[in-house]
Structure formats: structure tokens, C-alpha cells
Amino acid sequence: MRVQLKNAPFMRWFDKRTGIFHLTDEALDEPIPGGARWAYIFGSGLLYILLSQIVTGIFLAMYYVASADHAHTTVEYIVKQVTAGSFLRSLHSYGSSAMIVTLVVHMGQTYFFGSYKGRREILWLSGLVLFAMIIGMAFTGYLLPWDQKAYFATAVGTNIAGEVPFIGEWIKELMRGGTEMGTLTLSRFFVAHVFLIPACMFAFVGAHIFLFRKAGSAGPISEDPIEPKQKTEQFYPKQVIMDVVFATVLVGTLGLLSYLSPVDLGPKANPADTSFLPRPEWYYLPIFQWLKYWNGASAIIGIVIIPGIIAAFLVALPFMDRKLERRPWKRPVTSFSFAIVICALIFLGWQSGHEDASDPAVAKQLAKQSEETAAFMKAPFVPELSGGTLVAQNAALADPQAALGKKIFGDNSCDGCHGENAEGTDKAPKLIGVSAKFDHDKLVALLKSPTKKMLDGGMDPVDLPDDQFNQLLAYLTSLK
């Protein structure tokens, strides 16, 4: 098929001007020592998830408003009103978990099978930077919905940063945009999540892939990572097919999860709530648990010294470990330390859940919190009123009929009694949710011949040409 494409006149014309054939040859004919393997799918899997996060993220950003007053309403609007909004938000949220899982497998594999060896120091380092950025993406994204758990988990997260000696308070204020958490915090997290980190990530993903191609695939563990001796196979088609199969499995799994069990949204953050118990996303639980063991004067050991040693070890690894031996059983120290870290993470995560379950007061509060979330998810969407503007309702007015109807609502001084945004005044009740109260015909009848009470309240029968009447009706119906 590739050969046929290359002979097409347009492709030849295009190639003369862009050199595209050279590029695709370079990309697809990458030799893999020892041949294609399922073990190699995780790197490209990460690339695929990144793509999915970008697409779903752009969608979310179209509705999202990064302010403490409106963020939560806009996310609620996405979840409850927008077509497939909850599904796409769930894809983005589950995607972040999938990213962490795949990342740990990819990194663990590189570490365990010594694929960082043989002139791959910079490749490894660029991977570490990407690791840090993904952790940063998970942290900054978590706050954006501005619900109770987002707010309190981030309060904990930023407080931890504050424990770092000397510069901790400064880092904390830098992250929060002040001493307290509010709109400035949200807009900083938003900028980091949407512009700053992604921009750096693109650069590092590019560098990472370039460096990987430069060094070449390290091949199986029996292979010499500098001068491969085994028979090679080209990246295309077998490895490409394996990568695509994995991407398809990811699409299927994430899609199914998002469909069957959409991610929920809790009630809006209430900073005055002192009883709320924050619990981070599952992949942060081991760290959350770890930090519980280090209080007061020893905090610096748990927050700075030990993580610092681990980070320094990871950075120094490809420089210290110069032997080209890659078989795990011949590298007991690296293999053993790997096993210890994985076991410790699993244990800490388990311990965190276990402690919550075995303390009745905590378990009760956590159950109460999930009930509140469930109740909030069931409640209908109510447009938020603040300073006379209905944030989400303006979004609802994306319906042009309803938008025209709102104008008629004003022109006929309905707003004089029912309020500018039909939120109600002391002269007349709110009309938000009126379409749930009366069916279409009943509403028409009410408007054309108001009840005695309405007439007594000073409301005249509505007498408008049909098209205007229907627009007014569309507006009233949009007031959910």
C-alpha cells in the first residue's frame, strides 16, 4: 500500500516539496533488534493517552471558567446538561489514571530490564522530566472542578509544600497565589494545567521520541544495548499493529468505564467546612499515607530528604550503572530495590484504605461525604445566580430561540416582576424550573389567561404574535 501511495502523482508532488517520504520511511522502518514484541507497546500507549487527554481536555476547556465563583457550576453544567459531557469528562478523568498506570509500567520496565543502559542517559533523564510533568498534570487537574474533595485535597497538597524548610512558605504562596485558596489559586492551576505544563510536555515528548530513535530500540534483555547483534525487524507493520491493538484496548476500556461508571462531581467547595476529610485520587494514596508517618520535626525527612534521595538516585542511575548487563537476575541490587518500592507503594495504598475502614468516626464521615456527592449528582442543574449574571444559563441560551425569548422577556417587562434572569423578586416568584412544574399546554394557557392570583399580582395576559410567543416559551423552558 505504501508503494502505491508513493506513486500517486499528488504524493510525488507533495514529497518533492516536503520530503515526506523520507520522514515516513525514517519513522516506519525503525529496526527493532529481536523483532516486534507486546512488551514494547507501553511507550506508544502513553502517546495515545496523551492524545486522548488533549482532545477531551480541549472539549472541557470550551465550557470551563477558571474562577472560584463559576468553575464548579460550569463543570456541573458539563456533567448534567451538555450532551455526552459527563462521558467526555469521565474519559479525561479515567485517562489520567490510565496515564499513571501506563507510565509506571513503562518506567518500571525500563528500570527492571535495564533499557536505560548503553548511551541512553539523556533519554532516561527526559523520561524522568516527563514523569514529573505528568505528576504535575494530575495534581493541577484535580483542583479544577472546585468541588469539596478537589478543594480540600489541594489544600493538603499545598500545605505539604509549605513544610519544606526555608522556601516552603514561599512555594505554597506561589502555588496558591496568596495565603488562602481562591480564584487566584484556581487560575494558576488552570494556566499550569492547560498552557504551561502541556507546552513543556510537547517539547519533552518530542525530545524523548527523538532520543529514543537516535539510540534505537534496546531490544530484549539478552541483547547488547549499544551494538545489537540479533536479527532485526522493522517497526512497520508488526509493531505498529501491536501498538494499535493496545490503543484500541485502551479506547475500549476507558470508553466502557466512562459509560458504565461516569466520574462524579461533589458539592461545591465550602472552605468553611471543617469536618470534610480529603482523600486524594487513588494513585496519590500511597504518598498520602506515607506523609502521615512524618509529623512535626521529622516531616522534613519524609517530605524532603527521602524523596530527594530517591530522585537523586533515579537521576544518577544511568551514570552510575555503566555495566551493559541487562538481565534482572544478574543485577540483584536494582531488581531488589525495584521490588521493594513496588511492594511499599502497594502496602501504603492498602494501609490507607484499611485505616479509613477501621476507624468508625472516619468511616462514618467518608460515607456521609459519598452520600452528599450522590445526592448532588441526582439534584437537577440549577443555574447559579451571582451579580445578576447566570453563568451556566447563558450557556443554556446557546439555543437561539431561547436567546431571542430572553429579549422578549425583557421587552415585555416580565423582568420587572420576575427578575432580570427570572430568578424571582418580592413581586413575583422565580420562573426557573417552571417547565418542570407545568407541561407545555398548561404553560401556554397560564400565559394567555393568567390565574386570578397572577392578575391580582399585576400580571397581564401575554398577547404576542405567534413567533414571539414561541420564543418566549423557549426561554421559559430553558430555565432549568
Judged by the rule CB under 6 A, the positions of this chain that interact with ligand HEC are 412-414, 416-418, 427-429, 431, 434, 437, 446-447, 451, 453-454, 457-459, 462, 472
Minimum CB separation of residue 380 from ligand HEC in Å reads 16
Nearest to 435 by CA among 476, 376, 375, 381: 476
Pick between residue 206 and residue 461 the one whose CB is nearest to ligand HEC.
Answer: 461
Pick between residue 247 and residue 473 the one whose CB is nearest to ligand HEC.
Answer: 473
Query: Collapsing DSSP states into helix, strand and coil, what is residue 204?
Result: helix
Minimum CB separation of residue 458 from ligand HEC in Å reads 3
Pick between residue 2 and residue 448 the one whose CB is nearest to ligand HEC.
Answer: 448
Pick between residue 257 and residue 472 the one whose CB is nearest to ligand HEC.
Answer: 472
Minimum CB separation of residue 137 from ligand HEC in Å reads 46
Q: How far apart are CA 304 and CA 302, in angstroms?
A: 6
Q: What is the DSSP string of 79-138?
A: HHTSTTHHHHHHHHHHHHHHHHHHHHHHHHHHHHTTTTTTT-HHHHHHHHHHHHHHHHHH
How far is the CA of 69 from the CAs of 74, 80, 88, 116, 389, in angstroms?
A: 10, 18, 23, 47, 12
Pick between residue 222 and residue 413 the one whose CB is nearest to ligand HEC.
Answer: 413
In the complex, which residue's CB is closest to ligand HEC?
457
Pick between residue 389 and residue 413 the one whose CB is nearest to ligand HEC.
Answer: 413
Parallel, antiparallel or unpaired: strands 385-386 and 232-234: unpaired
Pick between residue 74 and residue 471 the one whose CB is nearest to ligand HEC.
Answer: 471
Pick between residue 19 and residue 416 the one whose CB is nearest to ligand HEC.
Answer: 416
Minimum CB separation of residue 433 from ligand HEC in Å reads 8
Minimum CB separation of residue 275 from ligand HEC in Å reads 36
Minimum CB separation of residue 389 from ligand HEC in Å reads 20
Residue 181, number of CB atoms within 10 A of its CB: 22
Pick between residue 88 and residue 396 the one whose CB is nearest to ligand HEC.
Answer: 396
Query: Collapsing DSSP states into helix, strand and coil, what is residue 231?
Result: coil
Minimum CB separation of residue 395 from ligand HEC in Å reads 22
Place of cell 541487562: 326
Q: How far apart are CA 391 and CA 74, in angstroms?
A: 8
Minimum CB separation of residue 435 from ligand HEC in Å reads 9
Residue 417, number of CB atoms within 10 A of its CB: 16
Q: How far apart are CA 319 and CA 120, in angstroms?
A: 10
Q: How far apart are CA 200 and CA 247, in angstroms?
A: 24
Minimum CB separation of residue 106 from ligand HEC in Å reads 58
Q: How far apart are CA 94 and CA 282, in angstroms?
A: 11
Q: How far apart are CA 8 and CA 13, in angstroms?
A: 9
Residue 294, number of CB atoms within 10 A of its CB: 17
Minimum CB separation of residue 449 from ligand HEC in Å reads 12
Pick between residue 291 and residue 434 the one whose CB is nearest to ligand HEC.
Answer: 434
Burial of 288 per CB tally in 10 Å (0-12, 13-18, 19+)? buried
Enumerate helices (H) and strands (E) in the chain, giving the number of each: 24, 4
